[in-house]
Structure 1
Amino acid sequence: MHAHHDGLVAAGYGKVADAFTAGLARSTRGGAALTVMVDGEKVIDLWGGAADARDGRAWRPDTPTVTFSCSKGLLAILVARLVEVGKVDLDTPVSFYWPEFGQAGKESIPVRWLLSHQAGLSYPTEDITKTDILAWHPVVDKLAAQAPLWEPGIGYSYHALTYGWLVGEVVRRVTGQSVGKAFAELVTGALGARAWFGVPQKELESVAVLAMAPDLDVEALPLPPEFAALKRAVTLGGAFPGTLAGTGTGFNDPDIQAAEVPGGGAVATARALAEIWSSTIVPTPATEPLPADVLTDMVRTQSSGDQVLGLQGLPQPNWGTGFMLDSPARPFLTSSSFGHDGAGGQLAFADPLHRVGFGFVSNDAQGAGDTRALDILDALRRTL
Structure 2
Amino acid sequence: MTLVETGFGKVADTFFRTVADDGRTGAELSVWVDGKPVVDLWSGIADERSGRAFAFDTPMVTFSCTKGMASVLVAMLMERGALPALDTPTVDIWPEFGAHGKDRITIGDALAHRAGLSAPRRDLTIEEVLDNELMADAIAVQEPLWAPGEHHQYHAVTHGAITGKLVALATGRPIRDCFAELIARPLKAEAWIGLPDTEVPRVAHVVTDTLEGEPPKGDPESIAWMERAIDLGCGITFDKFNEPRFHRAGIAGVTGIATANALARIWSATVTTTNGVRLIGDSTMEALREVRSEGPPFFADPPPYQRWGAGVMVPSDWDRYLSPSSFGHDGAGGQVAFADVDAKVGFAYLTNRMADDWDLGKRVTAALADALG
Query: TM bucket by the smaller chain?
Result: over 0.9
Deviations 1:196-222 (CA, angstroms, capped at 9, x unpaired): 11111000010001012554799x545
1:301 aligns with 2:291: yes
Change in CA separation of 1:79 and 1:225 when aligned onto 2, cut-off 3 Å:
same
1:102 alignment partner, SS class: helix
Change in CA separation of 1:27 and 1:174 when aligned onto 2, cut-off 3 Å:
farther
1:272 aligns with 2:249: no
Deviations 1:340-379 (CA, angstroms, capped at 9, x unpaired): 0001111100011111100110001221x44321221121
Q: Which residue of 2 aligns with 1:3?
A: none
2:28 alignment partner, SS class: strand
Q: Is the 8 A contact 1:112 1:321 kept in 2?
A: yes
- Identity fraction in percent: 41
How far the C-alpha of 1:72 sits from its partner, in A, is: 0.7
Alignment of 1:216-295 (within 5 A): 221-222=216-217, 224-227=219-222, 228-241=224-237, 244-245=238-239, 250-295=240-285
| Aligned counterparts of 1:290 and 1:166: Cα–Cα separation in 2 | 20
Q: Structure 1: any 5+ residue segments left out of the alignment? A: 1-5
- Residue 252 of structure 1 aligns to which amino acid in structure 2? N
Q: Which residue of 2 aligns with 1:318?
A: 307
Q: 2:93 aligns with which of 90, 97, 100?
A: 97
Q: Is the 8 A contact 1:198 1:257 kept in 2?
A: yes
1:193 aligns with 2:189: yes
How far the C-alpha of 1:239 sits from its partner, in A, is: 4.7
- Residue 304 of structure 2 aligns to which amino acid in structure 1? P
Change in CA separation of 1:217 and 1:322 when aligned onto 2, cut-off 3 Å:
farther
| Aligned counterparts of 1:216 and 1:76: Cα–Cα separation in 2 | 31
Q: 1:352 aligns with which of 338, 341, 357?
A: 341
1:382 aligns with 2:359: no
Q: Is the 8 A contact 2:67 2:329 kept in 1?
A: yes
How far the C-alpha of 1:132 sits from its partner, in A, is: 1.7
Change in CA separation of 1:27 and 1:364 when aligned onto 2, cut-off 3 Å:
farther
Q: Is the 8 A contact 2:35 2:268 kept in 1?
A: yes
Q: Is the 8 A contact 1:27 1:364 kept in 2?
A: no
- Residue 136 of structure 2 aligns to which amino acid in structure 1? V
1:337 aligns with 2:326: yes
Deviations 1:161-209 (CA, angstroms, capped at 9, x unpaired): 0000012101111111101111111111101111111111000010001
| Aligned counterparts of 1:282 and 1:122: Cα–Cα separation in 2 | 33
Q: Is the 8 A contact 2:321 2:365 kept in 1?
A: yes
1:364 alignment partner, SS class: coil
Q: Which residue of 2 aligns with 1:207?
A: 203
- Residue 340 of structure 2 aligns to which amino acid in structure 1? D
How far the C-alpha of 1:288 sits from its partner, in A, is: 2.3
Alignment of 1:6-21 (within 5 A): 7-21=2-16
Q: Is the 8 A contact 1:92 1:111 kept in 2?
A: yes
Change in CA separation of 1:57 and 1:215 when aligned onto 2, cut-off 3 Å:
closer
TM-score normalised to structure 1 length? 0.92
- Residue 191 of structure 1 aligns to which amino acid in structure 2? L
How far the C-alpha of 1:12 sits from its partner, in A, is: 1.6
Q: Is the 8 A contact 1:213 1:344 kept in 2?
A: no
2:136 alignment partner, SS class: helix
TM-score normalised to structure 2 length? 0.95
Deviations 1:43-90 (CA, angstroms, capped at 9, x unpaired): 100011111112211111111111111011111110110111112221
| Aligned counterparts of 1:288 and 1:46: Cα–Cα separation in 2 | 24
Provide the aligned C-alpha RMSD in A. 1.8
1:297 alignment partner, SS class: helix
Q: Which residue of 1 aligns with 2:178?
A: 182
Q: Is the 8 A contact 1:212 1:344 kept in 2?
A: no
Range moving further from structure 2, 329-338 or 283-292: 283-292
- Residue 301 of structure 1 aligns to which amino acid in structure 2? V
Q: Structure 2: any 5+ residue segments left out of the alignment? A: none
| Aligned counterparts of 2:249 and 2:41: Cα–Cα separation in 1 | 29
- Residue 119 of structure 1 aligns to which amino acid in structure 2? A
Q: Which residue of 1 aligns with 2:79?
A: 84
Q: Which residue of 2 aligns with 1:117?
A: 113
Q: Which residue of 1 aligns with 2:160?
A: 164
| Aligned counterparts of 2:65 and 2:21: Cα–Cα separation in 1 | 22
| Aligned counterparts of 1:169 and 1:108: Cα–Cα separation in 2 | 18
Q: 1:31 aligns with which of 26, 29, 32?
A: 26
| Aligned counterparts of 1:184 and 1:71: Cα–Cα separation in 2 | 13
Change in CA separation of 1:260 and 1:285 when aligned onto 2, cut-off 3 Å:
closer
Q: Is the 8 A contact 2:261 2:348 kept in 1?
A: yes
Range moving further from structure 2, 268-277 or 80-89: 80-89
Change in CA separation of 1:43 and 1:135 when aligned onto 2, cut-off 3 Å:
closer
| Aligned counterparts of 1:286 and 1:181: Cα–Cα separation in 2 | 21
Change in CA separation of 1:102 and 1:305 when aligned onto 2, cut-off 3 Å:
same
Alignment of 1:48-63 (within 5 A): 48-63=43-58
Q: Is the 8 A contact 1:129 1:239 kept in 2?
A: no
